[in-house]
Amino acid sequence: MSGAAIVALLVRCGMVLLFLPFSALDKVLGFGGAVKQAEEVFRPRALATTVLLIGLAIEVVCTLGVVTGVADRLCAFIIAGYCAATAVLFKRFWAAGDFWSDPNGKGRSLFWDFLKNLSLGAGFLLVVVGADGLGLETFLHHPFASTQPYAGHP
């Protein structure tokens, strides 16, 4: 494996580290608590459980796709959407009521988490389109195509 391929592997592992193993493992080991958190947004409990299982599947399957390069554009696109959705659904800084009144309040803390989710999602979009944006056309025409992150480049 070339030096560039090793760097690509390390970067991709760093990108998904939050999801696999940590968030996925947290969902598995603390399933009841995770369902309870999901119930804050999704009711009834069966819907919250279903949404949680979908999130777990995204965290496992799509992160493996990003790391291995198998359908990595589509996997990264799905994770980017997942990051945006979790930001809007679970990092509702505007609902805390203390955003402007308390610089150390829950609203400010959620705001930073909201921005982190969106930023991480934007990072995954770089896998989709490439740093130069030229991969967008490939993704639109062949969404299951790989970026071939570990292939030798001249």
- Summarised one tens digit per residue, pLDDT across range 42-91 is 999 999 999 999 999 999 999 999 999 999 999 999 999 999 999 999 99
> Closest Cα to residue 65, out of 152, 151, 144?
144
The pLDDT score that the predictor gives to residue 88 is 97
132/99 Cα distance (integer angstroms): 37
Tell me whether residue 111 is exposed, middle or buried, using C-beta atoms within 10 angstroms of its C-beta: 0 to 12, 13 to 18, 19 or more. Answer: middle
Residue 152 reports pLDDT greater than 80 = no
pLDDT in tens, 91-148: 999 999 998 999 899 999 999 999 999 999 999 999 999 989 999 999 999 999 999 9
Confidence (pLDDT) at 62 = 98
pLDDT at 4 over 70: yes
**CA–CA dist 60, 58 (Å, integer):** 5
Which amino acid is located at 77 in the chain?
Answer: F
Predicted pLDDT of residue 1: 84
- Asked whether the whole model's pTM tops 0.85, one would answer yes
